[in-house]
Amino acid sequence: MDFDGVLLRRGEPAWNPLIADMLCHASVAHELWDRMLSAAHRSQFADELGCDGEQAARQVLALLAGVRRVGEASPMHMNGLGSRVHSPALEIARPSWQRGAERSGLTASVLRSRFPAEPVERIGAAVLPRLLGCDCPEVEDGERCTTPTHHGLNLAVHSMLLEDGNERHSDTVAVAARAAGRGPWPAIRKALVNDVARHVGLEPGRVPDLIQPGEGVRSLKRLRHFTGTVARLPVGDPSYGYALPDDPLETLSHRAHRIARTVVAHQARPA
């Protein structure tokens, strides 16, 4: 990996390094598409997203499912390295992640900093459009972009992460942007998103061109349901072991595909 200082998620019974979690969910999206979606459902997704073909829709869905949790890479939601979770495998992996965090500038003081208690979805909605190609200099993180070719990207992010699928009031936008954190955090989120994009075979900057929903579309409900389903599937089972910060992306990707196949094999039959 170009970036080896990603953090571990905390506060859940099954714990996973965030980069491994994101790659696994991207792979789960691929597996669900390939093994459980009917041809009709695939066509409906491509039509809703306005993608040029089902292969583009498959990649876009996997990328969005993978980066959905990028809001967790923020000081409020990552202020420790799994001290509440105890397992022999994690005890072996934790020192490596601690060193990786320190190399990335995430010292103990940064991790303990006080920031607004903002939901990860709002933080993600504030930062994801820019990370995925909406680089308009006059737009602050979380603000509505009026560039016509960026409408689909912003609509997809907001549909996926916000309850009503709409842009928020300027005050709440400012709170989410502040909760995202400064210092090393923007670079960490960029590295995470870039690795997920490489994992699914996309350039992040291409996403605005790939998502072009029809005129008058105000919400992408299928996208929200699909990515929400992927997010609920258990990819952090301790029996899978733990990825290490020095693992190359190829190793992490192979592991993610293997876990995704196992997870999806336990799901219901195709619709």
pLDDT per position as a tens digit, 34-49? 999 999 999 999 999 9
Half-sphere CA count of 64, side-chain side, radius 13 A: 34
> How confident is the prediction for the chain on average, in pLDDT?
79
The answer to whether position 9 is within a domain reads: no
The answer to whether position 3 is within a domain reads: no
Higher pLDDT, 64 or 99: 64
Residue 44 to residues 47, 156, 202, 227, 231: CA-CA distances in angstroms?
A: 5, 15, 21, 15, 21
The answer to whether position 204 is within a domain reads: yes
Q: How confident is the model at residue 147 (pLDDT cuts 50, 70, 90)?
A: confident
Q: Note the pLDDT of residue 210.
A: 94
The answer to whether position 8 is within a domain reads: no
**What average pLDDT does range 176-194 have in this prediction?**
84
The answer to whether position 85 is within a domain reads: yes
Look at 35-39, 74-78, 118-122 and tell me which has the smallest mean pLDDT.
74-78
Q: Which CATH number is 97's domain given? A: 1.10.3210.30
Question: 38 is in which domain, residue-wise?
Answer: 18-265
Domain count along the chain? 1
Q: Note the pLDDT of residue 81.
A: 56
The answer to whether position 38 is within a domain reads: yes
- Other CB atoms within 10 Å distance of the CB of residue 145: 19
Higher pLDDT, 39 or 5: 39
